[in-house]
Amino acid sequence: MAPTMLVRDAMSTVVLTIGPAHTLRQAARMMSARRIGAAIVLDPDTSGLGILTERDILNSVGAGEDPDRETAQGHTTTDVVFAAPEWTLEDAACAMAHGGFRHLIVLDGQGPVGIVSVRDIIRRWAPLRAGRRQPGVLAG
């Protein structure tokens, strides 16, 4: 039986943190350069913590809003569900499925320590489920 995998085992610890005044274009450029789908939005004036995702940016652009004028503040989710590093990946997957989102900010007692995404969970689970075989590779 495989050991229980924890959020700390799958989360990305390279986290992009932006401010609420960053434009959506600036956020998109930084997210694209790092090949990530979400940024933590930290508001120093309110000590608030939120998340801006690629979907938030896509929805704004799709609505015809100008990504050079729209700021992260207007598109940040502030009602965030947080994960702890000690959560199991199953706990994280259930929270995501229940809430209808694809990223969780991971907090310890000091603040944000990472982000775990659906992709991170799949990367950890897929090799275990497939018996470590590569998809699309035919045995010769």
SS3 content of the chain, % helix, strand, coil (to 5): 35, 25, 40
Residue 41: predicted pLDDT: 96
Are 87 and 7 contacting, i.e. CB atoms less than 8 angstroms apart? yes
> Is residue 31 pLDDT above 90, yes or no?
yes
Per residue in 45-99, pLDDT (tens digit) is 877 899 999 999 999 999 999 999 999 999 999 889 999 999 999 999 999 999 9
Per residue in 94-106, pLDDT (tens digit) is 999 999 999 999 9
* CA dist., res. 59 & res. 55, Å (int): 6
Are 70 and 58 contacting, i.e. CB atoms less than 8 angstroms apart? no
Kindly report the pTM of this predicted structure.
0.82
